Amino acid sequence: MSLTKYHQKRSFDQTPEPKGFIKKTTQVPLFCVQKHDASHLHYDFRLEHRGVLLSWAIPKGPSVNPVDKRLAIQVEDHPFDYRNFEGIIPEGNYGAGTVMLWDEGYYTVPGAETKKEIEKAMQAGLEKGHLDIFLAGKKLQGLYSLIRMKNDEEKKQWLFIKMQDEYAGLKNEAWDNSVKTQRTLAEIAGEKNHKKKSPKKV
């Protein structure tokens, strides 16, 4: 687990994103999903693991329908503190655009009870290219699978699939709103247009 690529891609004197460091916790591992309107609208799915957030970009976003197989492209690890980030990444910076905290919660791995067992199962799944995770979020709930595509030489392309269970098909009433501030993406983006301007000098 490393944050080297994350730090290399960002200028923290220009972006409000947290610099962050590897931070190990003893609690049940957390997950978050951030809706990101950058050069292309997508969703960033992040799983806490060994002090960082493993991250996948999902172009079409997560689905609660087991029929859907959503492409998930693994990107650089993000710092644990990134799980709370919502705001605007200024133009000229990597990932410039608006970020919404779309979902958050914790996750477990079937058959694993302690965090140590979850980490061990996660590591084995990453190496194998198949992760089964149970999400307990405000929007995403139940069993999901991340399956790495076999024809991908760089091992970055996965499929994100909702498994059939009692949570399949269920959508939160505030599906399009932030779980942090209840705002829409447009309302978050509008912040930059509502900042007070300094009075002109006469």
pLDDT > 90: percent of the chain: 87
Minimum mean pLDDT range among 16-30, 102-116, 140-154, 184-198: 184-198
Position 77 pLDDT exceeds 60? yes
Q: What is the pLDDT of residue 181?
A: 96
Query: 198: which DSSP letter?
Result: P
Segment 104-116 shows an average pLDDT of 95
Position 191 pLDDT exceeds 80? no
Q: What is the pLDDT of residue 194?
A: 42
Of residues 19, 22, 17, the one with CA closest to residue 49: 22
Q: What is the pLDDT of residue 144?
A: 98
Q: What is the pLDDT of residue 193?
A: 52
User: Domain for residue 193, yes or no?
Assistant: no
Query: Phi-psi category of 177—alpha, beta or left, where left has phi over 0 and alpha has psi -120 to 50?
Result: beta
Position 22 pLDDT exceeds 50? yes
Residue 79 structure tokens: 């710092």
User: Domain for residue 27, yes or no?
Assistant: yes
User: Domain for residue 119, yes or no?
Assistant: yes
Position 114 pLDDT exceeds 90? yes
Position 129 pLDDT exceeds 70? yes
C-alpha distance from residue 126 to each of 5, 96, 99 (Å): 19, 29, 27
Of residues 32, 11, 4, the one with CA closest to residue 99: 32
pLDDT digits (tens, 9 = 90+) for 135-151: 999 999 999 999 999 98
pLDDT digits (tens, 9 = 90+) for 25-43: 888 999 999 999 999 999 9
User: Domain for residue 39, yes or no?
Assistant: yes
Position 196 pLDDT exceeds 70? no
Number of domains in the chain: 1
User: Domain for residue 144, yes or no?
Assistant: yes
User: Domain for residue 184, yes or no?
Assistant: no
Q: What is the pLDDT of residue 85?
A: 97
User: Domain for residue 156, yes or no?
Assistant: yes
- Structural domain span for residue 125: 4-165
User: Domain for residue 77, yes or no?
Assistant: yes
Instruction: Enumerate residues 6+ apart whose C-beta is below 8 A from 191.
Output: 87, 88
